[in-house]
Amino acid sequence: MNGRVDRLGRALVTVSLRSSDTTASHDVEVWIDTGFNGDLVLPQQQIDDLG
C-alpha cells in the first residue's frame, strides 16, 4: 500500500470502492484514522456516486 502524508500530518491512501461486483469502481482518497472504530464515513455525494 502506498500513500502520502498531507500538510496537516494525516496519512492518506487511495482505495477503490464500488457498490456491487457489477458496478464501476470509484477511487477515493481516504484518511487513515489510528482511532478507527470500524465505520467508513463518506460525504453524501460520494455515496450517491456509488449508486
Domain ranges, ordered by start, for the chain? 3-50
20 pLDDT band, cuts 50/70/90, is: confident
pTM, to two decimals: 0.67
Distance of CA 26 to CAs 11, 12, 14, 30, Å?
20, 16, 10, 12
Is 34's pLDDT higher than 80? no
Which pLDDT does position 13 carry in this prediction?
Answer: 95
Q: In whole numbers, what is the pLDDT of the chain averaged over residues?
A: 88
Is 39's pLDDT higher than 90? no
